[in-house]
Structure formats: structure tokens, C-alpha cells
């Protein structure tokens, strides 16, 4: 991917990151739609022999053999038995029964995490530059689990099973399955086993935002990644016949209509369908759109599909307007016809013009790539949001990372829109989703793992979380594009990742399997349910007090019931243990919480560490007044010895 290495400070801080030899010992496993091995992102030039502990394989199948692997792409497997059991034999004329990626998504995520550096990358000239994965020297192993008909948990579990046996160090999974208890969720179950083996599991948070309680992959042994924007944009303006210029974005490249105003029509007025405004297939009347620019509303069908519908009906161009569901978030697409996407407010302005002018006209002006856009990052509207619906005491997502308009490797099987009618073929494509932010964190975790091979997955995640930032350089809070207001820990978790800072966090909140078993006991799981998650007979000690608030998590989520106490106030205690991974020092605590309803106290107020790996515990007491349902308060707890700042977000909610 281009730009994100600079945006994340990887280029500027290159000296801080581990030597290439240690990174090349780290293996990133990616569960996805497979891989396009011919992508330049999997060039192995300069890489030495595969790590000696590697046990994986490059499996044979449709248009794929062991010769497609190399010293970069060291493993490629596919898992289709569960899929075929449900949907019948794979039609090899439409999808490859092999690790080969016919979709593009898997090639994109794998190359984002650990793709080699490729000079001169771009999508039709957009986002041009040197594309690289986050961990350019790490090895890649792909596990194809998603097919045209979906991703089935029996296949996913089989892939995780193999990845653990193959000895991957990081597992990247940009997929999810809604919200089910951990013992029913194959990703959570497999991730538990992986974490126990020292594998960091990074998962996408989901694209169901901005609705609250919309997160996937919320198990505390998973690193859950939301999405933010970069400081890059692809402006394409709509110039209206009344002289107004409206901002939009587009990745269209081709013949446009420079300086030529065209008739402009609202799709809802060019269709007999009740949902004609959505530009669904076969809903536009060709006589009413031919040669015109058509305004379509976003929603229901794919954005690029709407462009194809307009084109098929004879339209000359398209303006795609967000609705309330997307607000002002602009996602650029490589449309098949001149087209641009505009926000809801802009869409309303355009509609007002369309409905008031008897002969509306417009043109679209494509401006290419712009960088240095501020503010950035902003939380993407689509990024799924907390609270955590399974365990409200665990704050999710953990962090956000770049996930909007990300360029990375693509499959040679299909065009950048993914439409069957798109005959264009590209080496790189620009797409958006928490699927794209997840592999950023996977690759960064690989870098951290190389720098600190002894750290547990929880310690690596803690480093990423406690060093994440929540403010821009000017001190303003990171914005949420969905609301236009400052984002909260339910949107961004601990904040936006800062990999250079994560290399040296000072202190970490560590966790091991015993902690997670205690967590399952605190959930009142039965022995059978614990066995399903943790693969062992484990009996919770009836004499021991298990508390969800004592899981040593690097963040604080405080769910309160509005009718929790007759006295009107509730007292909750959270205990945490910090491990020193830096120099000796005395850390002092500070609490920032803008709430009259909650008082926070921390004991002790300072912690002195004299040795590496020394552990010190503290307790946080939240004393909360009764508040109306849906009230929220946010803040953070910081420990600092003057050099390092170890920050944990606080999210308090009354339901």
C-alpha cells in the first residue's frame, strides 16, 4: 500500500524498527479469499531461506502449484470441504479450487500486511508511489477460506487449525460472523488456541457502523481493529449549471467530459420503480437517462453496480449521493463511467437544484490524488462501533488503523470494481473496509514481534493500544466522520496505532491462558462451554472470585445499570497489573474523565519498577451516580515516568 507507511511513520522511523533478518523470521498467516501469487507484492528478491520452523505447504489445485510459492509467499492452502458440503462441488470454471484468489480481497489483505515493496504502483495513476506491506520482510502464508458463496466456519476452523500447526506468528482475519457467544464462534475458538501458542490474532471489527453494538470479533484474546482515513483523497467535483461546485471523490479514469455541461437527472425521476433512486439493475428508463448525468442514492446495491446500471441505460455519468446511513463519508470507486461520490449534505444541495431547475445541467471534474488532507485520521462511518454486545466489560474495538481508500495488490482474475462486466485488469486496487485496517495491524504486529520475540500476543497488543493516539497534532480529538464530532473509545478504542511508539511502550498489560480461563469463569461459562473454547477440562474454583473487571485488559469499559443501586451510586473496582518492558522508573498516574457523574480513584498513585519484567498492580475505583439510560462518559488513565506515556481509555455507559 502507498502512503500508509508514511502516514504511520514507518518510513521516518525506519531506523527504530528491527533488522530485516529478524522480521524475515516472522510469518503472517492470512485467512481470506486466497492469493494472486503473480502479484509483484509477493516478489521474494532479497529474502533468505524460509524460517526453519515453517511446517506449511503450497497446495496444488486449479491453476496453482507449489511453484507459485517462493521465499515471500511461503505457504498457500485452501479449505473448501465445508463450502462444498453446503453448496455442492466448486464450479472450477468460475472459481479456482486452489489457493488462487479469484476475488482480489485476499491478495489485497495479504499484500497490505506483508507485501514486498513495489515501485511505481498505482490504480490508473491514482495513489501512485512505492507500494509496500507493513512488514515488507515478513513471510506470507495464505489460507483460502472464503469463496463466492461465503466463508463457512468448518473451513475457517480447519484453516486456523493448520495455521497453528504450520507455525505462523501472526494471524490476520478480515472476516466476521455477527455476534455469537465465544463458544459458538469458530473465529473466537480458533483464536484462543492460536493465542495460547503465542500467535497474535488480528481481526477486523466489521463494517456495520456507525450503529452502536455493531462489532464483530470481540473476544479479549483477539485484537479487534476499526478503520480510519488517511490524509489522502481523490477529489472529483460536480459542477452544477447554477455555478455551484460540489466536492466528491472518484477513481474513474477514462474519457470524461471536460468543460461540457450535460443534462442532469435524478434517478428517482427516471424510473418507474419505487426504489428507482437507488439505481438498481433494470430500474432506469433509458429514454430518460440517455446522454445524461444521473444522480443515484447510495444503498442496497454495490456502489460500482449503480454505475454499471447507469452506463447500461445509456447514462453519460453518475453522481452517487450518500444518505443518512453514510453521512459525509466519501468512498472512492473505480467506476466504469465518469462518476463521483458526494456526501449526504452535498447530495441534498444537488437534489435541491435538480428539483428546482427545469433544465438542470452538470459536469464532473476529476482532480487526481491529493495528499495532506486534514483532519486525518477520522473514524470511518462504516467502522463498527462499541459497546461490546457480548461482554460489555471489555472495550472494543482495540484500535483503529487505515482502512479507507487503501491501495494494495489485486487479483488478475477480475477488474477493480469486481463486476463481471469490468474487463479491466490491474495490479493494484483501491478499496475500503475494516478488512483493510486489520492487515495493517497484522503487519505492524509482525514488526513488533520481530523486535520483541519474547512478548506474548497480549503484550504486543498492549503496546499497540497504550501508545495509540486520540488527538491530532493540534490537540484536537480525532473526529468521527459519521457524526462530525470527536470520536469516542466506542469508535476508536484506544486510538489510532502509532507503531514507532509501540516499539517502546515502557509498560505492558500482559495476559496468558490462565487469565483467559478466569475470564471464562467470570462469564459463568459451564465446564462444557469452557472446554469448547479452551480445549480442556477446566473447573472454575468455587472458592475463587472471578471478575470480568479484573481481566488485565489495556482499557476500561464500565457498563452501569440505571437501576443498579437504591442509593443512587455504584462503586466498581477494576484491578490491573503492569509489566515493565523498559528501563527502571517510577510511573505516576493521572486520570482524565470529563464527568460530574463519576469519580475515579487509583491506588497506588505511583508504581516504581526497578527490573525488567517486574510486575506491579493497581486498582481503579469508579464511583458512579445514577444517570439516565444511554448516558456515556469517556476519559483515560495514564501512567508516565516522564518519557513513556501508557494510556488506557475509559468508557462508561449507563443502560
Residues acting as catalytic residues: 32, 105, 435
**Three-state DSSP state, 195:** helix
Site for other proteins in 352-411 (CB under 8 A): none
E strand or H helix at 6, and its extent? helix 4-7
Decide whether 208 or 502 has the Cβ nearer to other proteins: 208
E strand or H helix at 29, and its extent? strand 27-32
Our finding on whether 435 is near other proteins (CB under 8 A) is yes
Q: How far is the CB of 165 from other proteins (least distance, A)?
A: 5
Q: Do 221 and 200 form a contact (C-beta atoms < 8 A)?
A: no
Give whole-number Cα distances, 412 to 97, 103, 108, 305, 639, in Å.
Answer: 16, 9, 12, 20, 49
Q: How far apart are CA 652 and CA 247, in angstroms?
A: 37
Total number of residues shown for the chain:
655
Q: How far apart are CA 319 and CA 229, in angstroms?
A: 22
Our finding on whether 165 is near other proteins (CB under 8 A) is yes
Decide whether 175 or 365 has the Cβ nearer to other proteins: 175
Our finding on whether 61 is near other proteins (CB under 8 A) is no
Our finding on whether 513 is near other proteins (CB under 8 A) is no
Beta-strand pair 170-173/27-32: parallel
Q: How far is the CB of 155 from other proteins (least distance, A)?
A: 8
Give whole-number Cα distances, 43 to 37, 72, 440, 473, in Å.
Answer: 9, 6, 19, 37
Q: How many CB atoms lie within 10 A of CB 165?
A: 11
x/- track of binding to other proteins for residues 100-129 (CB under 8 A)? -----x------------------------
Q: How far is the CB of 298 from other proteins (least distance, A)?
A: 18
Decide whether 178 or 254 has the Cβ nearer to other proteins: 178
Decide whether 197 or 345 has the Cβ nearer to other proteins: 197
What DSSP designation does 7 have?
H
Residue 545: CB partners within 8 Å, gap ≥ 6? none
Our finding on whether 156 is near other proteins (CB under 8 A) is yes
CA angle 554, 452, 160 (to 5 degrees): 75
* Maximum separation of any 2 CA atoms in the chain, in Å: 79
Decide whether 438 or 501 has the Cβ nearer to other proteins: 438
Our finding on whether 329 is near other proteins (CB under 8 A) is no
Q: List the one residue from 1, 24, 98, 204 that touches other proteins (CB under 8 A).
A: 204
Decide whether 327 or 418 has the Cβ nearer to other proteins: 418
What values do phi and psi take at 648, rounded to 5?
A: -120, 130
Q: How far is the CB of 385 from other proteins (least distance, A)?
A: 14
Determine the interface stretch with other proteins among 287-295, 410-418, 528-536, 586-594 (rule: CB under 8 A): 528-536
Q: How far is the CB of 392 from other proteins (least distance, A)?
A: 22
Q: Dig out the grid coordinates for 223 from the structure.
A: 485484537
Q: List the one residue from 12, 55, 425, 535 that touches other proteins (CB under 8 A).
A: 535
Q: How far is the CB of 379 from other proteins (least distance, A)?
A: 15
Q: List the one residue from 76, 194, 219, 637 that touches other proteins (CB under 8 A).
A: 194
For residue 264, the cross-strand partners are 293
Instruction: Select from 174, 166, 172, 219 the least CA-distant residue to 197.
Output: 166
Determine the interface stretch with other proteins among 187-195, 267-275, 583-591, 597-605 (rule: CB under 8 A): 187-195
Q: Dig out the grid coordinates for 510 from the structure.
A: 500482559
Q: List the one residue from 152, 234, 556, 609 that touches other proteins (CB under 8 A).
A: 152
Our finding on whether 75 is near other proteins (CB under 8 A) is no
**Three-state DSSP state, 510:** coil
Q: How far apart are CA 594 and CA 420, in angstroms?
A: 52
Our finding on whether 434 is near other proteins (CB under 8 A) is yes
Our finding on whether 532 is near other proteins (CB under 8 A) is yes
Q: How far is the CB of 5 from other proteins (least distance, A)?
A: 22
Our finding on whether 302 is near other proteins (CB under 8 A) is no
For residue 213, the cross-strand partners are none
Instruction: Select from 492, 341, 481, 429 the least CA-distant residue to 106.
Output: 429
For residue 586, the cross-strand partners are 608
Determine the interface stretch with other proteins among 40-48, 189-197, 252-260, 337-345 (rule: CB under 8 A): 189-197
Number of residues that bind other proteins (CB under 8 A): 53
Our finding on whether 207 is near other proteins (CB under 8 A) is yes
Q: List the one residue from 6, 161, 512, 638 that touches other proteins (CB under 8 A).
A: 161
Give whole-number Cα distances, 551 to 249, 510, 562, 615, 619, in Å.
Answer: 44, 10, 24, 15, 12
Determine the interface stretch with other proteins among 236-244, 431-439, 496-504, 612-620 (rule: CB under 8 A): 431-439
Q: How far apart are CA 463 and CA 443, in angstroms?
A: 14
Determine the interface stretch with other proteins among 14-22, 261-269, 281-289, 532-540 (rule: CB under 8 A): 532-540
Alpha helices (H) in 423-456, listed in sequence order:
434-451
Residues of this chain that interact with other proteins (CB under 8 A) are: 32-33, 79, 81-82, 85-86, 105, 146, 150-158, 160-162, 164-165, 174-178, 180, 183-187, 189-190, 193-194, 197, 204-207, 216, 433-435, 438, 528, 531-532, 535, 537
Amino acid at each position: 500500500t502507498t502512503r500508509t507507511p508514511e502516514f504511520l511513520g514507518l518510513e521516518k522511523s525506519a531506523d527504530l524498527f528491527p533488522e530485516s533478518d529478524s522480521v524475515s523470521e516472522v510469518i503472517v498467516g492470512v485467512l481470506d479469499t486466497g492469493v494472486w501469487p503473480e502479484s509483484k507484492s509477493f516478489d521474494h528478491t532479497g529474502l533468505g531461506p524460509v524460517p526453519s520452523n515453517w511446517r506449511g505447504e503450497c497446495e496444488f489445485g486449479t491453476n496453482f502449484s507449489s511453484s507459485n510459492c517462493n521465499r515471500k509467499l511461503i505457504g498457500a492452502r485452501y479449505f473448501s470441504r465445508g463450502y462444498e458440503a453446503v453448496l455442492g462441488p466448486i464450479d472450477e470454471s468460475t472459481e479456482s479450487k486452489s489457493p488462487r484468489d479469484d476475488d482480489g480481497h485476499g491478495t489485497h489483505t495479504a499484500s497490505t500486511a506483508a507485501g514486498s515493496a513495489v515501485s511505481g504502483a498505482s490504480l490508473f495513476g491514482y495513489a501512485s508511489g512505492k507500494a509496500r506491506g507493513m512488514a515488507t520482510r515478513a513471510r506470507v502464508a495464505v489460507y483460502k477460506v472464503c469463496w463466492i458463496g461465503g466463508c463457512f466456519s468448518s473451513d475457517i476452523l480447519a484453516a486456523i487449525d493448520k495455521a497453528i500447526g504450520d507455525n505462523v506468528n501472526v494471524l490476520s482475519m478480515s472476516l466476521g460472523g455477527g455476534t455469537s457467544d465465544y463458544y459458538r464462534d469458530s473465529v473466537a475458538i480458533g483464536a484462543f488456541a492460536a493465542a495460547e501458542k503465542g500467535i497474535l490474532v488480528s481481526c477486523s471489527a466489521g463494517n456495520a457502523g456507525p450503529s452502536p453494538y455493531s462489532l464483530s470479533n470481540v473476544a479479549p484474546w483477539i485484537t479487534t481493529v476499526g478503520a480510519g482515513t488517511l490524509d489522502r483523497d481523490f477529489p472529483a467535483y460536480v459542477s452544477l449549471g447554477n455555478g455551484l461546485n460540489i466536492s466528491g471523490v472518484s477513481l474513474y479514469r477514462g474519457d470524461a467530459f471536460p468543460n461540457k455541461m450535460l443534462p442532469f437527472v435524478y434517478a428517482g425521476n427516471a424510473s418507474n420503480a419505487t426504489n428507482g433512486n437507488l439505481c438498481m439493475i433494470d430500474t432506469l428508463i433509458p429514454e430518460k437517462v440517455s446522454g445524461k448525468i444521473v444522480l443515484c442514492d447510495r444503498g442496497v446495491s454495490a456502489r460500482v453496480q449503480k454505475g454499471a446500471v447507469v452506463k447500461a441505460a445509456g447514462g453519460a455519468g453518475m453522481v452517487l449521493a450518500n444518505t443518512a446511513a453514510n453521512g459525509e463519508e466519501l468512498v472512492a470507486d473505480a467506476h466504469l463511467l465518469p462518476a463521483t461520490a458526494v456526501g449526504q449534505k452535498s447530495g441534498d444541495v444537488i437534489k435541491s437544484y435538480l428539483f428546482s431547475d427545469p433544465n438542470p445541467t452538470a459536469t464532473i471534474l476529476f482532480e487526481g490524488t491529493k495528499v495532506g488532507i486534514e483532519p486525518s485520521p477520522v473514524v470511518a462511518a462504516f467502522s463498527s462501533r462499541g459497546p461490546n454486545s457480548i461482554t460489555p466489560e471489555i472495550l472494543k474495538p482495540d484500535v483503529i488503523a487505515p482502512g479507507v481508500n487503501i491501495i494494495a495488490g489485486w487479483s488478475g482474475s477480475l477488474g477493480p470494481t469486481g463486476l463481471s462486466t469490468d474487463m479491466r485488469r490491474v495490479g493494484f486496487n483501491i478499496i475500503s473496509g475494516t478488512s483493510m485496517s486489520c492487515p495493517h495491524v497484522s503487519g505492524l504486529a509482525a514488526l513488533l514481534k520481530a523486535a520483541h520475540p519474547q512478548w506474548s500476543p497480549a503484550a504486543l497488543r498492549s503496546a499497540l493500544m497504550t501508545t495509540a493516539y486520540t488527538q491530532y497534532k493540534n490537540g484536537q480529538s480525532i473526529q468521527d466522520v459519521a457524526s462530525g464530532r470527536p470520536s469516542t473509545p466506542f469508535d476508536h478504542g484506544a486510538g489510532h496505532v502509532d507503531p514507532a511508539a509501540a516499539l517502546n511502550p515502557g509498560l505492558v498489560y500482559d495476559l496468558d491462558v490462565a487469565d483467559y480461563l478466569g475470564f471464562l469463569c467470570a462469564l459463568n461459562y459451564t465446564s462444557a462451554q469452557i472446554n469448547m473454547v479452551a480445549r480442556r477440562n477446566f473447573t472454575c474454583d468455587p472458592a475463587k472470585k472471578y471478575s470480568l473487571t479484573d481481566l488485565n485488559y489495556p482499557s476500561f469499559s464500565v457498563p452501569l445499570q440505571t437501576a443498579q443501586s437504591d442509593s443512587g451510586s455504584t462503586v466498581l473496582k477494576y484491578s490491573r497489573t503492569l509489566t515493565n518492558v523498559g528501563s527502571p522508573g517510577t510511573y505516576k498516574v493521572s486520570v482524565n474523565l470529563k464527568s460530574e457523574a463519576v469519580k475515579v480513584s487509583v491506588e497506588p498513585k505511583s508504581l516504581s519498577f526497578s527490573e525488567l519484567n517486574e510486575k506491579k498492580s493497581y486498582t481503579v475505583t469508579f464511583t458512579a451516580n445514577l444517570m439516565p439510560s444511554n448516558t456515556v462518559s469517556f476519559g483515560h488513565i495514564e501512567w508516565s515516568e516522564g518519557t513513556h506515556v501508557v494510556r488506557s481509555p475509559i468508557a462508561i455507559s449507563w443502560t
